[in-house]
Amino acid sequence: MHARVLISILLSTLLCNACLAQLIHGEVLEMESKKPLPGVSINNIHNDIHTSAGIDGTFVIAGASGELLEFRIPGYKVTRVRIPHGYVPTFFRIIMERPATPVMDDHMLAGTGDYRRDSIRSRELYGHVLAFPRMSAIEKIKSPFSALSARNKAMWEFQDMYAEKEREKYVDHRFSPEMVSRVTGLKNDSLAKFMIRFRPTYEQVSSMNEYTFFTYIKNSAYRFRSRDRAISPR
């Protein structure tokens, strides 16, 4: 009797979760040409569902409110879109942008595994670009041609991209697979899925001390294992 009740509860939970999800329709466009961008890899990082954009740039993927969709294709910036709570648009138009110039080489992006040394090396390499002065709002009004200069815009875009890469590398440094595996005991595919699903933001990581950070990882691992137990076949 208890087993039947438990199965009924699990089935009800799964059905409710399925009801919350819906099919997200959209298209991916290239920023400069506004033409469809085929072959873009699309991943719902919460349920690990993957798909790719068709030859006309269109896609369909399952997702629920609050979940994050990630769009990737070589040669373009990674684009992330959060499915909104409440009203969800019937169609999403995703714009993929090429990285600003100058472009960071793959070796510098990958790093050596030493976060501080990599940051020092990359700052030495791109120091002349990072030191390029930015214009205030008043300066842009006074010198609109300088503000709209392709060279200046490229420099500022690179500075923004560099700052974002540094934030991502900092998260990688704190939220490393080796450390997470030691804290949670997760390995192989389970560890890889956990790392994607529960990856914290830079703002989260930078606001946590060691205790709260480890507590976040342990609580997330408990949720991860509980979900897997709930959906695993009996």
pLDDT at residue 231 greater than cutoff 70: no
Q: Could you report the per-residue pLDDT of 160-213, keeping only the tens digit for each?
A: 878 888 888 889 889 999 999 999 999 999 999 999 989 999 999 999 999 999
Domain limits, CATH 2.60.40.1120, in the chain: 21-96
Of the pLDDT bands very low, low, confident and very high (cuts 50, 70, 90), residue 149 is confident
Q: What pLDDT is recorded for position 95?
A: 93
Share of the chain above pLDDT 70, in %: 77
Kindly report the average pLDDT of the chain as a whole number. 79
Average pLDDT over residues 68-83: 87
Residue 110 tokens, joined: 């990958």
Q: How far apart are CA 118 and CA 116, in angstroms?
A: 5
Distances (CA, A) of 51 to 26, 62, 184, 232: 12, 10, 29, 23
pTM above 0.85, yes or no: no
Q: What pLDDT is recorded for position 162?
A: 81
Q: Could you report the per-residue pLDDT of 77-125, keeping only the tens digit for each?
A: 889 998 888 788 889 999 998 875 544 544 444 444 566 777 777 677 6
3-state secondary structure the chain: CHHHHHHHHHHHHHHHHHHHCEEEEEEEEECCCCCECCCCEEEECCCCEEEECCCCCEEEEEECCCCEEEEECCCCCCEEEECCCCCCCCCEEEEECCCCCCCCCHHHHHCCCCHHHHHHHHHHHCHHHHCCCCCCHHHHHHCHHHHCCHHHHHHHHHHHHHHHHHHHHHHHHHCCHHHHHHHHCCCHHHHHHHHHHCCCCHHHHHHCCHHHHHHHHHHHHHHHHHHHHHHCCC
CATH number attached to the domain at 21-96: 2.60.40.1120
- Name the residue with higher pLDDT: 204 or 7: 204
pLDDT at residue 17 greater than cutoff 70: no
